[in-house]
Every structure is written in structure tokens, then in C-alpha cells.
Structure 1
């Protein structure tokens, strides 16, 4: 058994002083390292745990990660006893219980929602070192377990309520990204599905099976030329310009590192939005919009995933660079929700 007295009964203190908030983080770091090696501790995971604490509400996750990295460095250079004693000195009376809670969260088994038996001796030593009464300690443990249980319940009900669209070709499923209470609609026909609502949200997936012989040819073909011929030369004229005559491609780019090679296109669509705005004379006219397209291949299907950004009557687009990056991000976030089968 590890001798925890070496951590908690030492008089050594780090030369680096800590703030009260850093003291809370230091308890978590000491707890994470106590039964493992320093190099096994993941600073980003610890930071994401600590970010949930109210005492860190003014910190960004990057700032907390920097704090955790610094504390791990102290533990590595000076030892856990130095780091814990500095944490103990730094913790104000109001934050001692938060420090203990940070230790509890690190130790808890998230599946069983218990403190594993082998971790209990450490937790008892931590409790004694922080001079926390048994009743208070048990109350904190139960509060942490209850918080985990509540988070699990929320995730369960979110999953239960989530509606999923299943492609009739059995090649993908995707959570429906629009809400029926906001006018959300799903329009599907062979080879395409669109999701839209009354607020201008639009996501569309077009998909085409690729014959085996063409797939074999694509192994040796120039992917950039292939996608350009599909999106710019065929899809944009047939699916967009045919309905919005003044539409034109504003930007195109081959993305070698995304989806093993993909092609992005931004199309300017004057009066081509899926939503309209009321004019002063009572008539309604369609808003201007940008349409982003991302073409890629998955398994034996060609996919063209698109989204829309509409502009109100007096609203102007940002710079082309900004609009391109925003649209790319929007489409890629949606693509990440698609489960290909």
C-alpha cells in the first residue's frame, strides 16, 4: 500500500505560492498523481473537470489547463508533499470544502458512482489533512455523486428525446437538426434530405451511389478535378443556378485533410434564401443568402452536404474570408453528427 503519510505529514512547502483557486486545483492534481505517475496525468482532462467548479467560472478552460500544467510541474520538480502543503496554506476557509470536493471528483468511479475501495484510504487521509469533519466529508461525497447522477440523467433524456433521420439507402443516420416547434421540416426524396425551419436554418444532404468501376478509377484520378467537375460544373448550375439565376460561385477550395479529401464551395445567392422578409408595401421577397457546399466520398457514396446563411434586408456579409470560415465550420460541425453505415 502506498504510504500517504509522506504526502500529508511533511513540513516541506513549495517555493512557489498559490492563489486560493490554484489551491483547489492543486488538491485535484495531488489526488490524480498520488496513485500513478506524473506523466500519466492528463492536464486537459483535469482542467475540464475543474472548469465545472464555481470558483473557476471566471477562467477559460485554456487558463485552467495552464494552471494545471504549472501545478504538475511543481509536483514533478518538488514532490507531492510540497504541492499539497502549498495548497493547504493557500486554501481559504471558504474553499477548503471545494478542495476536498476536487479530490472526490478525481477519485469517483463514474460508472458505479462510488469511491472505489482501494481509493478510500487516500480520501480519508485527505479529509484529515484538510481538517474536515466526517459528517461534512460524507455530505460532500454524496453531493458529488448526486451531481454525476443528475448529469447522467440529463444525458439519458436528451438521447431519448433526440429524433434521428435514417437514410432509406441505409448509408447514414443523422440527428434531426431542426425543431418542429420552430417550424422545423424534414423533406426527403430519393438521394436527398433537407432540414429547414422558419428561422432560416438549412442543412441538406445529397448522396449518390458510386459504381464500383468508377470507384476504382477514382483511386488514380485527381480528386480535386473530380470534385470541381461535380460541384462547380454540374451541381451548382443544376441545383442552384436553375432556381436562382443570379447565383454565382464566390469561393472554392480543395480540402486535402478533411474527409480524406473534400471540396468546399461558397455560392452567392441573391434573393435565394429559403426564407422571406416582408416589404413596406406588404409583399414578401426572398432574402439574400450564401450557400456552402462540401463534397466528399464515404464508402461507395458521393455526398454533397450544404448549409445556408441568410442576410436580413439591411445586413451585409462579412469579409469573404470570414464568411468562408464560418460556413466551413457550420457544415463540418453538422457532418460530425452524421453516422455513416
Structure 2
């Protein structure tokens, strides 16, 4: 018997009646309890997550809590498999995708914004039990991750964002290691987002310049000496930066071009990343939903003083916009980065 057969292959059904919305909440409870036990499920945590879910916009916090406690009671008395079958019976066709999304919400790693590998088999079983195609399931997973990312960015923006005005002309690093003229304009919705070790400049038209900077440790200096400058700068981007800053949130992102620039900053490494649906701006669909636009991001890693820098420039593409060849796009993006780096005053 497979690990989740007692849940998704059970034939038992409850006599309890559920609304379609309660059936969605029941899928959340089932998913939350699948790898532990019903007793370990935190009803208030589930209720808090579901309360922000669009399906439950007509529910109060108290009403959602009552629903979740009731569903947990069914699972305790009659079994998780029974609760799943009952939920599946009362799910309307319009809410099947929402039910899967509720399951995804229960297993997503909110800090890393990924589905933990250990939870992948559970989601696969849920997908099959709800009779969802692989493409549908992956779209839902990406939408949930994007929603978390957007909420995180909004929270980050509230605390660390400065909308530009005509008096703000330059940004100075809190560590005093560089000063840079701000490359976006207030008239275009320019803004500065910053936190420890990173500053980004963006606007409402999809422009994004970003500077990540890291003070070198003695261990890293030894690693550079051992590997050599070119290989170290390449490995920083391929093995660390791209997986953590891009691929974790955009699994379809792909490195398209690598180039070592020996004459730039005494040695720098350029990389071009293709980011489907990875833009900072979205397009509005006919059904009212927003979909992120495609983008290319160029990255340049180099050293200056006691710091490693990764400077990036992102270009977004309108749906009807004609792109140049990969070589042409890479060239223009690289020139934008190099031009931006020339404006930075390292101190």
C-alpha cells in the first residue's frame, strides 16, 4: 500500500453535508494532516491562511475557524480519507483548482517560497485524486508562489521603499562603500528598495537596476585564490545567486549566456538569464487576473575593494513587442549594466 492510499484510495464517506467552500477548506485540512496526524493540525493557523484566500472573502475570521474545527472533528471521528471523499463529492467544478491551491498553501515553504521536496509526492497524489492535469497543477503552484512573493514584496516595499522626488538624486550605501546616481525617474514611478546588502531601483515600466554587495571573509579570499578569479565569479552566479535569487521563485528561468570580461573592473563575469513571467510588472488578462510579463536579466559579478558586487539590469517585454536576437538582447543588456557600473563611485 502506498503512503497516501489510506487517504486518497479510501471508499468511506461521511453523512455530513459540506458547502463547496467548506469542501475547499476540507482539502486544506486533509493536506495539512496527511504527513502527521489530525491531532497535530493547528486549526487557527489553517483558518488564518484560508481567511486571506479569495474563496472565503465572504467569511469572517470566526466563521472560518468554526468551519475548520468542524472539519477537523470529522477527520478525528471518521478518518482523513473519509473527509477527503466527502470534500471531493461536494466540490463544485469551479472550485477544484481552488481546492488544489488550498492544499498547496498547506505545504509551501513560506521563507524559501518553494514546495519542499518531501511534500512533492503528497501534492502529486492530491493532483491525481482531484483529476488535474500536470500543466494545471503546475500553474496553480506557480500562482500560489507568485502570490506569496507579491505579498512579501509589498511588505518589503512598505518598510524599505522610497518613492522618488525631484530632490533625491543619489543613493549612498549604509556601509559607505559606494554612492550611485539614481537611474530611474520620479515621473515614471521610480522607487528605491533597499535592505542589508542590496538596493534596487525600479519604475512602473519594468525597469530594474539592482546592486547586491557582500563583504569578503578570509575563507572566501582563500577560495578565490584557490579557484582563480574567473571561475570564482562564475560559480558565485551559477551556484549561488541564480538558484537563490531567481530560480527558487522562477523554476523556468534559464541561463542563456556566459562571458568573462577580462578588461572590465580588473575581471568581471557577465551572465544573461531568460525569465519567463519574471518581470516586475504584470499585464491584465481579459478575465481580470494579472500575469507577470517575460523578462531578461543581465548579471555582472566583480570585486572592488573588500566587496563582491553583483550588479543587474532587467528588461521586460510587452506581449506584442518584437525582441531582437539573443545576441542583440544580450549586447544591449550588457551595455546597460556596464553604463550603470560606470556611474557608481566606489569609496
Instruction: Kindly state the Cα deviation for residue 216 of structure 1 after the two structures are TM-superposed.
Output: 5.5
* Residue 121 of structure 1: aligned partner: none
SS in 2 for 1:243: coil
What do residues 155-207 of structure 1 show as CA deviations (whole Å, max 9, x unaligned)?
Answer: xxxxx956111101110011111223321111100000000010111000000
Instruction: Kindly state the Cα deviation for residue 230 of structure 1 after the two structures are TM-superposed.
Output: 0.5
* Residue 294 of structure 1: aligned partner: 300
* Residues 1:171 and 2:177 aligned together: yes
SS in 2 for 1:313: coil
* Residue 188 of structure 2: aligned partner: 182
Equivalent runs, 1:101-120 vs 2, <5 Å: none
Contact 1:196/1:203, CA 8 A, preserved across alignment: yes
After superposition, the Cα gap between the structure-2 partners of 1:246 and 1:204, relative to the gap in structure 1 and judged at 3 Å, is: same
Contact 1:273/1:289, CA 8 A, preserved across alignment: yes
TM value normalised by structure 2 = 0.50
SS in 2 for 1:228: helix
Contact 1:193/1:205, CA 8 A, preserved across alignment: yes
Contact 1:262/1:294, CA 8 A, preserved across alignment: yes
Instruction: Kindly state the Cα deviation for residue 247 of structure 1 after the two structures are TM-superposed.
Output: 0.4
Instruction: Kindly state the Cα deviation for residue 219 of structure 1 after the two structures are TM-superposed.
Output: 4.5
CA distance in 2, matches of 1:180, 1:311: 21
CA distance in 1, matches of 2:211, 2:340: 10
Contact 1:215/1:300, CA 8 A, preserved across alignment: no
Larger Rg: 1
The structure 2 residue matched to 1:319, chosen from 318, 325, 330, is 325
* Residues 1:204 and 2:210 aligned together: yes
* Residue 237 of structure 2: aligned partner: 231
TM value normalised by structure 1 = 0.51
Contact 1:174/1:339, CA 8 A, preserved across alignment: yes
Q: Which runs of 5+ in 1 are unaligned?
A: 1-159
CA distance in 2, matches of 1:216, 1:194: 30
Equivalent runs, 1:20-169 vs 2, <5 Å: 161=167, 163-169=169-175
* Residue 266 of structure 2: aligned partner: 260
* Residue 248 of structure 2: aligned partner: 242
Contact 1:289/1:308, CA 8 A, preserved across alignment: yes
How many residue pairs match? The answer is 182
